[in-house]
Amino acid sequence: MKIKVLTIFPEMLKAALSESIVGRALEAGRFEVELIDIRAYSENKHKNTDDYPFGGGAGMVMLPQPIVDACEKNASGRERRIYLSPRGRTLTQRIVEELAREEELMLLCGRYEGVDERALELCFPEELSIGDYVLTGGELAALVVIDAVARLLPGVLGSNDSAEDESFTTGLLEYPQYTRPREFRGREVPEVLLNGNHALIARWRREQALKLTHRKRPDLLKGAPLDKKDRAFLDSLES
């Protein structure tokens, strides 16, 4: 997977992408991120990337020229191009899985009050939101997308922390986790986790996940694959 990111703040992404699991995966060549500085494509003598909005109003709008040139000069023609914007459809794990199957992505991070609509029409037909709130720019949203996609790529997570049996893949919230010590400030780790009975542990975790989902996100239960035992357990919670 190759991800190109168009931004006027490449350093903002660089820092975040150098750390932790994503940083290691990039170093290991599991995927690639190319940060493209939109400002470098400005044909304006001051290298401006924004100007006043036609029709008036607050703030500035990103010029179409630097964005369209940055896009065209870096496009392979094979990439899925996405503008990070509160106007887009809201990111879900299903969309993350879909993006992880792409060979190439190109992400556009907007700033100021937005991007000249013609740049979007010409280069970025798809818009994606990470949630219903407004940021100061699309960079943090791009990082969210990259992080969520990267961990699904082969070899990015260790086989031990595989993305498989976790919340949004089981359709349920995560069961509670414990590590050492066995007692902390008077609170004991649940006994079942200490006795090495793996079938019993799996059942306990499943029921904890069901209980938490029922209590905190009952809407998720509709989409989760549930078997007879799960349904019986959920019924027992109702009464």
In this chain, which residue has its C-beta nearest to ligand 9WO? Answer: 110
- Our CB check for ligand 9WO shows the closer of 122 and 226 to be 122
Nearer to ligand 9WO, 59 or 155 (CB): 59
Q: 20-27 and 10-17 are packed helices; what angle lies between their axes, rounded to 10 degrees?
A: 90
Backbone angles phi, psi at 82, to 5 degrees: -135, 130
Q: Which is nearer to ligand 9WO, 110 or 209 (CB)?
A: 110
**21 versus 144: smaller Cβ distance to ligand 9WO:** 144
Beta strands in the chain, from DSSP E residues, in sequence order: 2-7, 32-37, 50-51, 61-62, 80-90, 104-109, 126-129, 183-184, 187-188
Question: Is residue 92 classed as helix, strand or coil in its secondary structure?
Answer: coil
Contact 105, 148 (CB under 8 A): no
Instruction: Enumerate the β-bridge partners of residue 36.
Output: 6
As measured in angstroms, the least distance from the Cβ of 130 to ligand 9WO is 4
Q: Are 190 and 201 in contact (CB under 8 A)?
A: no
Binders in 46-75 for ligand 9WO, by CB under 6 A? 58-59
Residue selected from 36, 108, 110, 170 as contacting ligand 9WO according to rule CB under 6 A: 110
Separation CA 239–CA 221 (nearest Å): 17
115-144 positions binding ligand 9WO, by CB under 6 A: 129-131, 134-135, 137-138, 141
To 10 degrees, the CA torsion angle through 70, 73, 77, 78? -70
Which one, 64 or 114, has the nearer CB to ligand 9WO? Answer: 114
Least distance from ligand 9WO to the Cβ atom of residue 13, Å: 14
Q: Which is nearer to ligand 9WO, 71 or 141 (CB)?
A: 141
In the complex, least distance from residue 223 CB atom to ligand 9WO, rounded to whole angstroms: 22
Number of residues engaging ligand 9WO in binding (CB under 6 A):
17
Q: Does 170 help bind ligand 9WO (rule: CB under 6 A)?
A: no
Closest CA to 21 of 176, 162, 177: 162
**Choices 20-28, 111-119, 192-200, 213-221 (CB under 6 A): range interacting with ligand 9WO:** 111-119
CB of 204 vs ligand 9WO, minimal distance in Å: 37
Looking from the CA of 187 toward its CB, the CA atoms found within 13 Å total: 5
Site residues (CB under 6 A) for ligand 9WO? 58-59, 84-86, 110-111, 113-114, 129-131, 134-135, 137-138, 141
